[in-house]
Amino acid sequence: MTLSENDRKQLIEYRLEQANETVSDVQLLIENNRLRSAINRIYYGIFYALLALGLKYEFETSKHTQLIGWFNKNFINKGLINTKYGKIVNKAYIRRTKGDYDIFINFEKDNVVEMFNDMKEFISEIKSFLNN
């Protein structure tokens, strides 16, 4: 699908709004000890920010691993974005997958809060990158 420049900008804004809404969702989930669900939403907040970045550079995919690979190859490996953000994405993806598909998985609240803080920092970094 080919998007006009205006449509692309609107879709980028929409994806960033989704990421922001997810921050609020995660806060509520953590407050209510819904930690597995919080992990899922943390990952998706990061994913929405990555979708916005992909749109900016005309990279579109519905496959999570393709998007993460594209991000790592084009931004982390080239030094355009700090390597810690690549680690944040990878950790969130692995934990979200475990939380969604493994049996009897539990997460420690401290780890979830740490990931939540990483998520907020990640979204902020992507927004800054998009605005430069």
The pLDDT assigned to 67 comes to 97
What is the fold of 5-131?
Answer: Four Helix Bundle (Hemerythrin (Met), subunit A) (1.20.120)
Kindly list the domain boundaries of the chain, sorted by start residue: 5-131
Residue bearing tokens 């609240």: 109
The pLDDT assigned to 104 comes to 85
The pLDDT assigned to 62 comes to 85
What's the CA gap between 17 and 54, in Å, rounded? 15
The pLDDT assigned to 3 comes to 82
The pLDDT assigned to 1 comes to 60
Give pLDDT tens digits along the chain (132 positions): 678 899 999 999 999 999 999 999 999 999 999 999 999 999 999 999 999 999 999 998 889 999 999 999 999 999 999 999 999 999 999 999 998 898 888 899 999 999 999 999 999 999 999 998
Q: In sequence order, which residues have a C-beta less than 8 Å from that of residue 132 and are 6 or more positions away?
A: none
Whole-structure pTM value: 0.94
The pLDDT assigned to 66 comes to 97
Is the distance from CB of 118 to CB of 90 less than 8 angstroms? no
Question: Could you count the other beta carbons within 10 Å of the beta carbon of residue 53?
Answer: 23
In the three-class reduction of DSSP (H, G, I as helix; E, B as strand; rest coil), residue 49 is classed as helix
The pLDDT assigned to 120 comes to 98
The pLDDT assigned to 103 comes to 85
